[in-house]
Amino acid sequence: MSQTNKSYLINKMKPAKLHYWILGWFSMALCCWCASDKFTQSESHPHTWKKLYLAHHWPVTVCKMSANDCQDPPEYWTIHGLWPDKTEECNRTWHFNVTEIKDLLSDMRRYWPDVLHSSLNRTQFWKHEWEKHGTCAATLQVLNSQKKYFGKALELYQHVDLNSCLLKAGIKPSSSYYQMTAIKEALTRFYGVTPKIQCLPPEEGEKAQTIGQIEFCFTKELQLRNCTALKGESNPMQADLKLGTEELSVCSDTLPTYYPSQVQDHK
């Protein structure tokens, strides 16, 4: 075939090839953008967050808030969740799959139990936490799978070791009252940061609040930081724990504080 004929055929095919090449390039670019956007966000993205809350709740108080009959709640602080601030349900198509955390189930049952529904499907609590909070936390590479998210939460829980800290400070379930300022000071002294502490307000006729939740805040580098909002940040998250008409709120520094044992009634 002559050079002239070859040139003619190439020129004849160019428009169609160019069309498909542009379509293919655009599709590849779009896929890459979607994949990267799954885990990275700009500061203006609606799902952008600045800090994580590792929430511990006191099972005895959780049971006190519920009309359900809790079956022997643990007498140690358990995990409520690992929550990015400002965001919820970032990817509603990313469903919970318990098989992805099968290697963690022993620790999950012990340290992250469903206090209220111990006799039912325990995975429902974890499903809720993953789909509401985990899909938002997944913008960090170290949390970008279900196994990483739950595994890192367990790791941070062990690192904080709240149960041991309180015991070392002489703060343990009791029929007597504590001063909230004393609890705060003990935690701040031990960790070097200020946590967020939430209580169940006094019921009618009572004079004391009941401690229910302690949250520690972490940077995106998973370093402990104060839970108080810095300049330009949003206010801390709400309690994320409401049962019936009862709801946790930030503890008062002036009210006596009850730290209940399931076998003790307060005075």
Q: Give CA–CA dist 65/233, Å, rounded.
A: 31
Per-residue pLDDT tens digits for 98-113 = 999 999 999 999 999 9
pLDDT of residue 42: 40
**129 secondary structure, DSSP code:** H
- Mean pLDDT, the chain, rounded, equals 82
Q: Which of the residues are catalytic? A: 80, 129, 133
Q: Sign of dihedral through CA atoms 95, 58, 152, 226?
A: positive
CA 30 to mean position of chain CA atoms: 30
pLDDT of residue 154: 98
More confident residue, 24 or 116: 116
Q: Among all chains, which residue has been given the structure tokens 């999950």? A: 108
Per-residue pLDDT tens digits for 10-40 = 444 444 444 444 445 444 444 433 433 444 4
In this predicted structure, the answer to whether residue 174 has a pLDDT above a threshold of 60 is yes
Count of other CB atoms within 10 angstroms of residue 23:
10
Cα-based angle 203, 55, 122 (whole degrees, multiple of 5):
90
Give Cα separations from 245 to 30, 196, 207 (angstroms): 47, 22, 19
What is the CATH superfamily name and number for domain 50-258? Ribonuclease T2-like (3.90.730.10)
Rg of the chain on CA atoms, in Å? 25
Give the closest residue to 201 by CA, choosing from 186, 193, 211, 191. Answer: 211
